């Protein structure tokens, strides 16, 4: 069943399709080592697939499967993990994209349906008929999906009042408060509305402006874990770490024999910043003895905190600085910096600092000749502060480190090293197109993590199979060509001199390797 679950995610199949594949596809039986060809051994129920999947998710067995099988492939194919690259890709769970009106309406409808099923007496005695009619009547099922733009504000106001009424009416009922649907209503009210309470009048409910709604707000009652990214939309982010072979001396025909694997895979809500994945990815790979020595990532991961954290684990993070230093003219990167002392030694005009020291508060100061700075033609563009007694440049250790990184980004060495990061974009695309990771069949963070890890594992297996097939093909060619050369050798052996015989016998593979290259 564990093998069937991996194949299900690898091929993006439903539970019913898995049932059919095991029953009728001999390739599945061969892969799962089902040697008995009877109907009993090849039949499973859809419920069985669902049950085992829930067991794997609840016990976090999908992480053990990914780590164990990936490490086995890494060892078998001798994969080099010294250089790896990290990136994220947006994935969507199996939920509908809802606007604010539908979020209100679906949350209320879900609560009323659950209340009717679990507490029928409370539903009959406490819920007003107009609310039942508005949210549960079949003829009004799609009324909130056809609201005119001019009536959006009015509809939202009515929905917010109904939401507040239901939350307030059942707030003292412990059994109702424990319902997940009631807690979702509380969450929507807190995230989407402002309640102004006064002693005399009734509370005033105001719908927040869309820009004031937090990015981690509820996107759909069916998937409360999903987040929102202004750049990518609703859903989740899949964090992926992949090995990267940078060897330049490999012939073109040998590149197809090299294997790259995902060594780390995880999922987070879309609103969570990518920068938090660096430390977790390094720690997890370090525990499995596949930690990278060099980690390539884009600017989202290139914060100074991540660089320092990676350095503590003896990992060099190669990533651009996320943003500029905020200066309109010269920045610290335009000054001459001494990496050994960690201080600025000269200005862009070539004037050397006359003094360098650290203040009691920890700031670094480089002092320059006040007369030279006062007459400098670039004075308006320079961050040096000119006072009566001195001209000083103030900066922190973090600003100095960022300045060094910005200087390094302009070198050809950085461009040569960083260009390899772009290769993971193709891997992200392959994960979505080949295993269906772009649109998942599941909802909830645990289920999404399960799917992402097993789909990444499935792609690792597919890549390993391709390399294994290519290596076998190469071995068969070498055997056939070597056999041909040996036959020719023995046919023409009487006509060879002793020296030619020795050279031919000792370097047989070197003689026919150019033929293989052709």
DSSP letter string, 287-323: HTT---SEEE--GGG--HHHHHHHHHTT-EEE---SS
Q: Where are the domains of the chain?
A: 1-58, 100-212, 332-414
HSE, CB side, 13 Å, CA atoms: give it for residue 406: 19
Q: Indicate the SS3 state at residue 367.
A: strand
- List the pLDDT tens digit at each of the 518 positions of the chain: 999 999 999 999 999 999 999 999 999 999 999 888 888 888 899 999 999 999 999 999 999 999 999 999 999 999 999 999 999 999 999 998 888 899 999 999 999 999 999 999 999 998 988 888 888 887 666 677 778 888 888 989 999 999 999 999 999 999 999 999 999 999 999 999 998 887 667 788 899 998 888 888 989 999 999 999 888 889 999 999 999 887 666 666 676 788 999 999 999 999 999 989 999 999 999 999 999 999 999 999 999 999 999 999 999 999 998 766 556 667 888 888 888 888 888 888 888 888 888 888 888 999 888 888 888 888 888 888 888 778 888 988 888 899 889 889 889 999 999 998 999 999 999 999 999 999 999 999 999 999 999 999 999 999 999 999 988 888 887 777 666 665 665 566 666 666 555 555 555 545 445 444 44
Give the pLDDT confidence of 389-418 residue by residue, as tens digits. Answer: 788 889 888 888 998 898 898 899 999 999
Nearest one of 234, 419, 398 to 320, comparing CA atoms = 419
In 10 A of CB 211, how many CB atoms? 5
Cα dihedral 455, 240, 289, 286 in deg (nearest 10): -130
The whole-angstrom separation of Cα 107 and Cα 121 is 21
DSSP 220-247: -TT-TT-EEETTTEEEEEEEEEEE----
Long-range contact pairs involving 279-286 (C-beta distance under 8 Å, separation at least 24): 279/306, 279/309, 279/310, 281/86, 281/239, 281/241, 282/309, 282/310, 282/313, 282/315, 283/313, 285/81, 285/84, 285/241, 286/313
381 φ, ψ (degrees, to nearest 5): -100, -5
For residue 352, what is the DSSP state? Answer: B
Q: Give residue 94's pLDDT.
A: 92
Q: Give residue 61's pLDDT.
A: 95
Spatial neighbors of 362 by CB under 8 A, at least 6 apart, are 396, 397
Q: Give residue 518's pLDDT.
A: 45
Q: Give residue 249's pLDDT.
A: 60
pTM: 0.84
Give the pLDDT confidence of 480-502 residue by residue, as tens digits. Answer: 766 666 566 556 666 666 655 55
Q: Give residue 491's pLDDT.
A: 65
Spatial neighbors of 453 by CB under 8 A, at least 6 apart, are 62, 63, 65, 66, 265, 266
Q: Residues 280, 281, 284, 287: is their CA dihedral positive or negative?
A: negative
**Residue showing tokens 């992200």:** 428
């Amino acid at each position: 069943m564990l093998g069937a679950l991996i194949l299900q995610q690898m091929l993006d199949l439903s539970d019913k399709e898995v049932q059919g594949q095991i029953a009728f596809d001999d390739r599945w039986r061969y892969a799962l080592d089902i040697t008995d060809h009877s109907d009993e051994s090849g039949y499973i129920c859809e419920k069985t697939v669902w049950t085992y999947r829930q067991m794997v998710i609840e016990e976090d067995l999908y992480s053990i499967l990914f780590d164990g099988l990936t490490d086995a492939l890494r060892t078998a194919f001798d994969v080099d993990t010294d250089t790896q690259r990290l990136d994220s890709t947006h994935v969507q769970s199996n939920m509908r994209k809802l606007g604010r009106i539908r979020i209100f309406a679906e949350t209320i409808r879900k609560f009323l349906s659950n209340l009717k099923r679990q507490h029928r007496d409370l539903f009959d005695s406490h819920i007003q008929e107009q609310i039942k009619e508005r949210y549960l009547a079949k003829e009004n099922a799609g009324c909130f999906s056809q609201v005119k733009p001019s009536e959006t504000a009015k509809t939202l106001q009515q929905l917010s009042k109904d939401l507040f009424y239901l939350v307030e009416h059942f707030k003292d009922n412990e059994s109702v408060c424990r319902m997940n649907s009631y807690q979702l209503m509380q969450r929507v009210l807190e995230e989407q509305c402002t309640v102004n309470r006064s002693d005399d009048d009734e509370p005033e409910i105001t719908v927040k402006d869309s820009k004031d709604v937090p990015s981690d707000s509820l996107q759909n009652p069916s998937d409360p874990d999903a987040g929102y990214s202004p750049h990518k939309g609703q859903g989740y982010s899949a964090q992926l770490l992949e090995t990267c072979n940078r060897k330049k001396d490999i012939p073109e025909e040998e590149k197809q024999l090299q294997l790259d694997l995902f060594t780390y895979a995880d999922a987070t809500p879309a609103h969570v910043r990518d920068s938090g994945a660096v430390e977790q990815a390094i720690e997890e790979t370090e525990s499995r003895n596949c930690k990278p020595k060099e980690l390539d990532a884009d600017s989202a991961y290139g914060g100074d905190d991540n660089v320092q954290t990676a350095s503590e684990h003896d990992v060099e993070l190669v990533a651009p600085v996320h943003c500029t230093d905020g200066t309109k003219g010269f920045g610290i990167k335009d000054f001459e910096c001494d990496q050994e002392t960690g201080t600025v030694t000269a200005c862009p005009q070539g004037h050397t600092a006359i003094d360098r020291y650290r203040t009691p508060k920890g700031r670094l100061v480089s002092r320059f000749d006040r007369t030279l700075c006062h007459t400098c033609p670039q004075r308006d563009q320079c961050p040096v502060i000119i006072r009566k007694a001195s001209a000083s440049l103030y900066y922190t250790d973090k600003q100095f480190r960022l300045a060094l990184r910005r200087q390094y980004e302009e070198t050809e060495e950085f461009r040569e090293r960083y260009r390899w990061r772009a290769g993971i974009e193709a891997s992200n695309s392959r994960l979505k197109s080949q295993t269906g990771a772009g649109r998942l069949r599941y909802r909830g963070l645990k289920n999404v993590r399960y799917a992402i890890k097993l789909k990444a594992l499935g792609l690792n297996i597919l890549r390993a199979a391709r390399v294994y097939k290519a290596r076998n093909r190469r071995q068969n060619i070498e055997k056939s060509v070597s056999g041909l050369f040996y036959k020719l050798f023995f046919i023409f052996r009487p006509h060879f001199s002793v020296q030619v015989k020795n050279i031919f016998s000792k370097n047989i593979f070197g003689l026919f390797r150019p033929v293989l290259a052709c």
